């Protein structure tokens, strides 16, 4: 039986939950929270930086959300082809996965971490540069979307794009001059596996260090 260690409010945990839900893959969810110290201890030992999600499959342990999606695609294929069969399309999927992780998720996490480090007085330099970099990536994505589209099914890109755009918009709103990107975010949030992640995370919204907006 597969087991996924993570937290329902965690963006990277969503990245692993979306493919599991999309393909109806059976798994046990192991909550990483103070109520389950054993799960936290397992993650601390399993991941080089103590981060989640972590997937186990019998004796196999997979860390890093992208690797988890790749593992599920290889070992537990289902109706949602997580990695495109065409090699060139697979390269694009992996490229966009890196774009969403490195230039959306990372920058939003920097801002969130600044609030966690000092809720009353977050480092203004990090807030300015994190938000500036998010706006820069938004414009790049808007321009990419002029001539490209994401696959119409749940794929590695969906798994990376949905949680990163969900939370990034809470940190720095997607501007009105990026309508394609705003529409993509709305489309992604309407996908059933993504909507399930959003709904299951609702009880934890008060955890959001900047204050969760009253939407989504
Ligand atoms: N590069 C990792 C990032 C994972 C990550 O940042 N996880 C966050 C939760 S969204 C985490 O574990 N935070 C707790 C910690 O850093 O102690 C991945 O792709 O899986």
Closest ligand 1 atom number to CA of residue 49: 16
81-84 contacts: CB < 8 A, separation 24 or more? 81/151, 81/153, 81/155, 82/19, 82/22, 82/23, 82/154, 82/155, 82/156, 82/159, 83/155, 83/156, 84/151, 84/155
Cis upstream peptide for 51 (omega within 30°): no
Q: 66 C-alpha to center of ligand 1: Å? A: 12
Instruction: With cut-offs at 50, 70 and 90, classify the pLDDT of residue 152.
Output: confident
pTM: 0.97
pLDDT at residue 104, rounded to an integer: 98
Instruction: With cut-offs at 50, 70 and 90, classify the pLDDT of residue 151.
Output: confident
Closest ligand 1 atom number to CA of residue 53: 20
Residue with CA at minimum distance from ligand 1 atom 1: 64
CB atoms within 10 A of CB 19: 26
pLDDT at residue 189, rounded to an integer: 97
Whether 82 has a pLDDT exceeding 90, the answer reads yes
The CA distances from residue 164 to 15, 41, 48, 118, 209, in Å, are 9, 26, 22, 23, 16
Cβ–ligand 1 contact at 12 (below 6 Å): yes
Residue with CA at minimum distance from ligand 1 atom 9: 10
**Closest by CA position to 104, among listed 130, 76, 85:** 130
Whether 153 has a pLDDT exceeding 90, the answer reads no
């Amino acid at each position: 039986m597969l087991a996924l260690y993570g937290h329902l409010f965690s963006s990277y945990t969503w990245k692993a939950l979306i493919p599991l839900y999309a393909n109806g893959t059976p798994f046990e969810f192991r909550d990483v929270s103070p109520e389950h110290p054993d799960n936290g201890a397992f993650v601390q030992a399993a991941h080089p930086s103590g981060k989640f999600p972590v997937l186990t499959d019998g004796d196999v342990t997979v860390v890093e959300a992208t690797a988890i999606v790749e593992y599920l695609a290889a070992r537990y294929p289902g109706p949602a082809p997580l990695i495109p069969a065409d090699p060139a399309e697979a390269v694009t999927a992996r490229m966009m996965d890196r774009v969403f992780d490195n230039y959306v998720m990372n920058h939003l996490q920097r801002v969130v971490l600044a609030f966690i480090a000092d809720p009353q007085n977050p480092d203004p330099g990090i807030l300015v540069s994190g938000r500036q970099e998010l706006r820069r990536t938004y414009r790049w994505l808007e321009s990419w979307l002029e001539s490209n589209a994401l696959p119409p099914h749940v794929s590695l890109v969906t798994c990376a794009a949905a949680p990163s755009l969900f939370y990034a918009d809470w940190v720095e709103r997607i501007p009105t001059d990026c309508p394609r990107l705003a529409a993509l975010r709305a489309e992604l949030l309407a996908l059933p596996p993504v909507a399930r992640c959003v709904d299951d995370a609702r009880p934890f919204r008060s955890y959001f260090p900047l204050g969760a907006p009253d939407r989504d």
